[in-house]
Homo-oligomer: A and B are copies of this chain.
Amino acid sequence: MGERSFWGWGFEGESLTDGQIEALAARVEPLVGSAALDLVVAPSEREIVLLSSRIAPPTTIALWCHVDDRQRASHTYGKSFRDVVRALDRNWERPPDVVATPPDEAGVVAVLEWASDVGAIVIPYGGGSSVAGGVEAPFHDDRPVISCDLSRLDRVLEVDATSRAARIQGGVFGPSLEAQLRPHGLTLRHYPQSFEVSSLGGWLATRSGGHFATLHTHIDDFVESIRAVTPRGLWESRRLPGSGAGPSPDRVMLGSEGILGVITEAWMRLQDRPRYRASGVARFASFEAGARGAKALAQSGLWPSNCRLLDATEALVTGAGDGTSHLLLVGFESGDHPVDGLLLRAAEIVADNAGLFQASDRDTSDDDAAERWKSAFLRAPYVRDGLVRLGLVNETFETAITWDRFDAFVATIKSVAEEALRTVGAWPGLVTCRLTHVYPDGAAPYFTVIAPGRRGARLEQWAHVKSAVMDAISQGGGTVTHHHSVGRDHRPGYDAERPELFAAQLRAAKSVVDPEWILNPGVLVDP
């Protein structure tokens, strides 16, 4: 894959070429107007200018601690719109003083001990793909910063084929994880959009949303046990297929976003590789009708692995449709039994809800189609970087809401987003919506905003839109995040959402394992 980009998504060799940027410009120009396009050249390594590192690693760990500008710059931010704009602005204001890449769990312990010794904070870093400010340093905390990059903890340590489970190190990225499981005929089958540049530990710490659009939507459900290093010692839960013994320890570590420990290992539930697949597309005259179809499928107990609704514009922009109808992508898969019967029943349900269903062509290999879709899906963030380089404002908002409020909620969010774009002069723009995951009692709508930005003012424009939409989500009863995590960026909505007493409990639970608040201070809770 080549070297990681230090300013944008993924790998350097995968970024859009000049030709691809031109083609992208041609595609978006009719939508936002030609005046909006204002190409920024990507920064080169030589342009990185950082404050000096304030701490020097002790010799015992210096071998795998990095203080060079490239490493520090590339670990300064995650990969949100704001992060990429700041990097394109050649602005790395609060870089980590040191990037530590411990080779093993003992190395992680050593990093925490060193941090405690020198009064530094530690930011656990998996793939750095956060779009919520989850891996950057706090602004109002002047302590030195160590970015603890777990990417060398990249092995599958043990496979239990009988129970279909494996003990896996926290730093492994998606492709390597799957490559290590493949010889056993098993798969974790967890494909967030960040699959190629995010880690198991990151997925667990942020309650990542994965492959399955229904049923087991989050990584949470695949956890048997978790092992983490905390400043107060090892935290490890018992490996179990199920339990009712007190509040689940794992469910406290899941979503803890690095504040309760550095996840070094987990026993994860795996699956047989799918052998049977069936899929199709349903067309609807309105998004609301499509949502009713998705709801009926979600409530049917058929548990489709794919059940993703794209509004007409999103279908057009992503190349999935021609923009005349709203598309519901439906798919089933199994490692055990044919699933054609399930697809037939899904088609009936779609028809009952005024959708036009078409099963996918069996002449093309389903495997190939799935691969093509996956490839386009994984490629989208590179395109996003292209849009950012073209001077546009581009953000996504994702949440979840119960069905009773769904239609009004989606309409409100779209209109609030459009209004906010108009207010900051970022118009004409696009606000599209899709459903990434659906539940019997609600859905996870995902909004994409693409709008013209003003050079030098884009971050202000973005901040206004972001804040307006996040407020509307919170006030409308949605969650601040369905699977992107809270990070530093979503704290206001998170603070409004969780029970106040729960925040105090989380604060207390953190102080138990991290009395000096070394780990990611300011994420989720303040001291």
Contact = CB atoms under 8 A, between A and B. Distances in A.
A19 interface: no
Given A336-B345, A524-B246, A442 B498 contact: no
Contacts of A163: 402-404, 440-442
Given A240-B402, A481-B244, A335 B301 contact: yes
Question: Among A160, A257, A502, which residue has the most Cβ atoms of chain B within 10 A?
Answer: A502
Nearest to A237: B499
The complex is assembled from copies of this chain, and their number is 2
Interface residues of A, number: 94
A269 B502 contact: no
Contact of A241 (B208, B337, B439, B494): B439
Interface string A212-240: 00010110000010000010111111111
A249 B442 contact: no
A424 interface: no
B251 A494 contact: no
A507 to B, nearest CB: 8
Contacts of A251: 247-248, 251-252
Nearest to A165: B441
A247 B242 contact: no
A163 B251 CA distance: 25
Contacts of A246: 255-257, 486, 494, 498, 506, 524
A400 interface: yes
A137 interface: no
Nearest to A485: B244
A440 to B, nearest CB: 6
Contact of A505 (B479, B504, B509): B509
B441 A498 contact: no
A501 B337 contact: no
Contact of A242 (B336, B403, B482): B482
B208 A479 contact: no
A234 B502 CA distance: 10
A220 to B, nearest CB: 8
A15 interface: no
A442 B209 CA distance: 24
B502 A237 contact: yes
Contacts of A483: 244
Question: Among A208, A218, A242, A255, which residue has the most Cβ atoms of chain B within 10 A?
Answer: A242
A329 to B, nearest CB: 19
A143 to B, nearest CB: 23
A86 interface: no
A360 interface: no
A156 interface: no
A98 to B, nearest CB: 26
Question: Among A163, A209, A494, A507, which residue has the most Cβ atoms of chain B within 10 A?
Answer: A163
Contact of A497 (B217, B238, B511): B238
Given A441-B163, A501-B512, A245 B479 contact: yes
A244 B497 contact: no
A121 interface: no
A302 B499 contact: no
B502 A160 contact: no
Interface string A396-409: 00001111100000
Given A218-B242, A271-B440, 13 more contacts: A207-B244, A209-B244, A215-B215, A241-B403, A241-B439, A241-B440, A242-B400, A245-B498, A247-B253, A248-B254, A249-B499, A252-B252, A501-B513
19 contacts: A163-B402, A164-B440, A206-B244, A235-B501, A241-B401, A241-B441, A242-B437, A242-B479, A243-B479, A243-B482, A244-B485, A246-B256, A246-B494, A246-B506, A260-B505, A299-B336, A301-B336, A303-B303, A508-B508
Interface of A: 160, 162-165, 206-209, 215, 217-218, 224, 230, 232-249, 251-257, 260, 269, 271-272, 299-303, 334-337, 341, 345, 349, 400-404, 437, 439-444, 477-486, 490, 494, 497-499, 501-502, 504-509, 511-513, 524
Closest 7 CB pairs of A and B: A241-B442, A251-B251, A207-B244, A508-B508, A505-B509, A241-B439, A243-B479
